[in-house]
Amino acid sequence: MADSRADRLAKYRGKRDFTRTDEPAGAEGAAAAGNRFVVQRHRARRRHYDLRLEADGVLASWAVPKGPTLDPAAKRLAVHVEDHPLEYADFEGVIPSGEYGGGDVVVWDRGHWWTSDGADPAGAIEAGEVH
């Protein structure tokens, strides 16, 4: 992924007014901690869960409308959304009503991830083939 972190966060930053929301804007030079993941419950217009995978200096992000399941045979729609800054992995709070994604955000799960086939994480995400 050749784009700079700032370029990859432009869409995220363009959707938010950081004078109105406590969401992190993403500091330049933020330290990557490794292959973290976070699942956040987000009660916006409709409750959903957000899956975020750390790769290449940002959190690649998907909205999962029906939420996670313990049934490995169940399939869930996951909509790829804009990359989020690494600092978002720790974000919990209320996005003000009227702002993009207005509603509460709670960290539901977190940990570390890796690809099952040893593929480069950023490359696997870009190819749409994360296993």
pLDDT value at position 31?
A: 67
Contact between 105 and 95 under an 8 Å Cβ cutoff? The reply is yes
Contact between 77 and 85 under an 8 Å Cβ cutoff? The reply is no
Dump the DSSP string for 20-79. T--S----TTPPP-SSEEEEEEEESSSEEEEEEEEETTEEEEEEETT---S-TT-----E
Quick check: is 30 in a domain?
no
pLDDT value at position 1?
A: 44
Least confident of 30-44, 68-82, 105-119: 30-44
Quote the CA–CA distance of 121 and 33 in Å, as a whole number: 14
Residue that has been written with the tokens 């909509």 in this structure: 79
Quick check: is 83 in a domain?
yes
Phi, psi of 64 (to 5 degrees): -120, 95
Quick check: is 115 in a domain?
yes
Q: What is the pLDDT of residues 14-67, one digit of tens each?
A: 999 999 999 999 987 666 777 899 999 999 999 999 999 999 899 999 999 998
The whole-model pTM stands at: 0.89
Quick check: is 116 in a domain?
yes
Q: Tell me how many domains the chain contains.
A: 1
Domain holding 59, by residue range, is 5-20+36-127
Quick check: is 25 in a domain?
no
* Closest by Cα among 115, 113, 23, 108 to 67: 108
